[in-house]
Every structure is written in structure tokens, then in C-alpha cells.
């Protein structure tokens, strides 16, 4: 009865194997008990085909092709085609634009900023050129600077810093809103800012940033001031709401305002009414009474 060896060949128990017999039946012929799948195909069957491995393999392939085809028009066309394919893959994975949030904008600037973003919904998040979006937003007159950030899987955040509104500048019969650097803010409607100080005349927009903080430190005087008029691009006249006029010097205007403050605290001058106060001469205050008091 033949003996069976687990995992080996079947041999007769009465006939020992012959010594010197060839181990194989010829070169190139597979052994009788060889596996049905060749070795290389069996190795392929053991490859990691998980989704993560597939994505990593695709990305590696893109990088290799980009390195090999880095120059020439043909390389650019192939690179663009590869980029579109990757963007399509990313969008298919759910990483596509659905929401855009704008932060830091004022109500009147919102519409202009939204038009500047110019991004259709549904495009791949990787296809968004963040620098291009930022540059378009910063071209909006209201915007001083902008920052654009992707928030995966489907959101873009546009954070803007707008120009500060310092004053309304009146010149040549027109009114403009200016910022702290004296720059006109394009698109700003001066009529919407009745609470801003009014500066008038040539050069007033550049000099306003120096005088307005000094007035802000003196609420009694600031509340009575209707407009600051630039005279000969050298000095200021303060035109008060009751028609009175305060003439400031060309130099050391803070010292003149300190002197006026001291006089007002002692005599309540701003409440008495006057036609003009001349502070142009250092250490002197010339007061002209109003017509009714003359």
C-alpha cells in the first residue's frame, strides 16, 4: 500500500528511489507540481491596492512626470492635462468649493469684494489660485490688505483689512473719504459718513492726520468744530458751528491749542461767543467779539 507523506511526493514502499536519477525532466520544462501562477504575477497579487496607496501612487506619478517634463511647450500642455486630471480626482473625492466666507468687510464694501472673488461653486479646492484671489480683492478701493485661506473640505475664507476712514475731504466742489495716510478711498460715498470730520482745501487731505488727533484730545472744541479749512497749504482755520473762527499758527499748533484750552477752562471762552480768535502769534491770544457784543 503506498505511503503518503504530507506535503511531499507519493513513493512506492517496495521500490526505493534510484540514485543518480535526474532531478528535473529537462531545462525549461516546469516541474509536475509547479504552481499554476508564475512568480511575478503572484507578487503583483500581493501589492497593496488600498485607497491610500492608490492616491499616493498617483501623486508620485504626477511628481515624476512634472520633473521629467519641466521644460518646453509640450511639457506645459502635458502638465496642464495632468493638473486637470488631479483636480478632477480631488473634486471627485468631495474637495470642491461650496462656500466662501468674507471677514472684516464693511456693509458697503461687501458687494465689491464678492465680485472680486470670482470663484464658481463646484471647482476643485486645489484648482483655486489663492494669490490671484488675494490680488483681485486688494484691488477693491476699500481694501487695504487681504488674506485668503482654504478650509478643507469645501470652504474658502477671505479676510480683509479695510482702509481706516479718517475724514471727509472737500475740494473743488466735491467730497471724498480719506484714510489715515491722506489717500482717497475709491468708491466711498462721503454722504454716508456725516460723523467724520470735514477738512477743506488744497493739501488738507495730507495734513489732516496731524491736526485731527490734537482736536480729538479736546472734546469741547471738537464738538463745536464744523470744518477745518487749510489756508495756503500752511496752517488751519477752525470754523465753528456758530460761525466763529479760530486761526491756528503754521508752526507749533499744539502749543496754541493748549493755550486756548487754558483760556477756555478759565473764562469759558467757547461758550461766550466770539467772531474770531487769533492764535497765529506765539504766546498771544487776540479775541474779536461777535457783532452783537461789539
User: Does one domain contain both 104 and 205?
Assistant: no
Is residue 90 predicted with pLDDT exceeding 90?
no
Q: How far is CA 162 from CA 110, 148, 185, in A?
A: 11, 15, 10
Query: Which domain, by its residues, includes 285?
Result: 167-293
Question: Residue holding cell 457783532?
Answer: 291
Residue 14 covered by a domain: no
User: Does one domain contain both 69 and 107?
Assistant: no
Residues 120-147 have a mean pLDDT of 93
Residues 45-61 have a mean pLDDT of 49
Q: Exposed, middle or buried, 29 (CB in 10 Å: 0-12/13-18/19+)?
A: exposed
Measured N-to-C along each axis, helices 204-216 and 253-267 cross at an angle, to the nearest 10 degrees, of 40
User: Does one domain contain both 153 and 205?
Assistant: no
Residue 136 covered by a domain: yes
User: Does one domain contain both 158 and 197?
Assistant: no
Cis preceding linkage at 153, omega within 30: yes
Residue ending a domain, choose from 162, 190, 206: 162
| Nearest in space to 156 (alpha carbons), one of 128, 135, 137, 136 | 128
Residue 46 covered by a domain: no
Residue 189 covered by a domain: yes
Q: What is the CATH number of the domain that holds 261?
A: 3.40.50
Residue 7 covered by a domain: no
pLDDT band at 60 (very low <50, low <70, confident <90, very high): low
Q: What pLDDT score was predicted for residue 58?
A: 58
Is residue 86 predicted with pLDDT exceeding 90?
no
pLDDT band at 172 (very low <50, low <70, confident <90, very high): very high
Residue ending a domain, choose from 162, 178, 197: 162
Q: What pLDDT score was predicted for residue 293?
A: 58
Encode pLDDT of 179-216 as tens digits. 999 999 998 999 999 999 999 999 999 999 999 999 99
Residue 179 covered by a domain: yes
Is 82 within 8 Å of 65 (Cβ atoms)? yes
Encode pLDDT of 109-129 as tens digits. 999 999 999 898 888 888 899
What CA–CA distance (Å, rounded) separates 178 from 284?
A: 34
In the sheet where 143-151 sits, what is the strand order?
99-103, 155-162, 143-151
Q: How many distinct structural domains can be found in the chain? A: 3
Residue 223 covered by a domain: yes
Is residue 31 predicted with pLDDT exceeding 60?
no
Is residue 134 predicted with pLDDT exceeding 70?
yes
Encode pLDDT of 277-293 as tens digits. 999 998 888 989 876 65
User: Does one domain contain both 137 and 178?
Assistant: no
What CA–CA distance (Å, rounded) separates 252 from 182?
A: 21
Measured N-to-C along each axis, helices 73-92 and 51-68 cross at an angle, to the nearest 10 degrees, of 160
Measured N-to-C along each axis, helices 130-138 and 110-117 cross at an angle, to the nearest 10 degrees, of 150
User: Does one domain contain both 203 and 153?
Assistant: no
What CA–CA distance (Å, rounded) separates 186 from 140?
A: 8
Residue 39 covered by a domain: no
Residues 79-96 have a mean pLDDT of 56
Handedness of CA 70, 76, 82, 83 (dihedral sign): positive
Residues 6+ apart with CB under 8 A from 274: 244, 287, 288, 289, 290, 293
Q: Which residue has the higher pLDDT, 35 or 231?
A: 231
Q: For a pLDDT cut of 70, what percent of the chain falls above it?
A: 67
Residues 205-234 have a mean pLDDT of 96
Q: What is the CATH number of the domain that holds 121?
A: 3.10.20.310
User: Does one domain contain both 174 and 266?
Assistant: yes
Residues 6+ apart with CB under 8 A from 291: 275
Strand partners, 149: 157
Is residue 130 predicted with pLDDT exceeding 70?
yes
Is 134 within 8 Å of 147 (Cβ atoms)? yes
Amino acid at each position: 500500500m503506498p505511503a503518503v507523506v504530507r506535503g511531499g511526493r507519493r513513493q512506492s514502499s517496495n521500490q526505493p528511489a534510484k540514485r543518480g536519477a535526474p532531478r528535473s525532466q529537462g531545462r525549461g520544462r516546469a516541474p509536475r507540481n509547479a504552481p499554476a501562477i508564475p512568480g511575478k504575477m503572484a507578487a503583483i497579487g500581493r501589492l497593496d491596492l488600498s485607497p491610500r496607496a492608490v492616491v499616493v501612487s498617483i501623486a508620485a506619478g504626477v511628481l515624476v512626470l512634472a520633473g521629467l517634463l519641466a521644460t518646453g511647450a509640450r511639457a506645459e500642455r502635458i502638465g496642464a492635462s495632468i493638473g486637470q486630471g488631479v483636480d478632477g480626482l480631488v473634486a471627485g473625492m468631495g474637495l470642491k468649493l461650496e462656500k466662501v466666507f468674507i471677514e472684516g468687510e464693511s456693509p458697503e464694501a461687501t458687494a465689491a469684494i464678492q465680485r472680486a472673488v470670482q470663484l464658481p461653486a463646484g471647482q476643485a479646492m486645489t484648482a483655486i489660485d489663492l494669490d490671484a484671489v488675494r490680488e483681485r480683492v486688494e484691488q477693491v478701493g476699500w481694501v487695504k490688505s487681504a488674506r485668503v485661506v482654504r478650509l478643507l473640505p469645501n470652504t474658502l475664507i477671505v479676510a480683509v483689512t479695510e482702509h481706516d476712514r479718517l475724514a471727509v475731504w472737500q475740494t473743488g466742489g466735491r467730497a471724498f473719504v480719506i484714510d489715515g495716510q491722506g489717500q482717497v478711498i475709491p468708491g466711498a460715498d462721503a454722504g454716508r459718513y456725516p460723523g467724520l470730520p470735514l477738512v477743506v482745501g488744497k493739501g488738507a487731505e495730507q495734513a489732516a492726520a496731524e491736526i485731527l488727533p490734537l482736536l480729538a484730545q479736546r472734546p469741547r472744541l471738537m464738538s463745536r468744530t464744523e470744518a477745518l479749512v487749510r489756508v495756503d497749504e500752511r496752517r488751519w482755520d477752525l470754523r465753528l458751528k456758530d460761525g466763529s473762527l479760530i486761526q491756528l499758527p503754521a508752526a507749533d499748533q499744539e502749543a496754541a491749542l493748549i493755550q486756548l484750552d487754558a483760556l477756555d477752562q478759565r473764562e469759558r471762552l467757547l461758550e461766550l461767543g466770539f467772531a474770531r480768535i487769533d492764535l497765529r502769534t506765539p504766546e498771544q491770544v487776540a479775541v474779536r467779539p461777535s457783532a452783537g457784543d461789539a
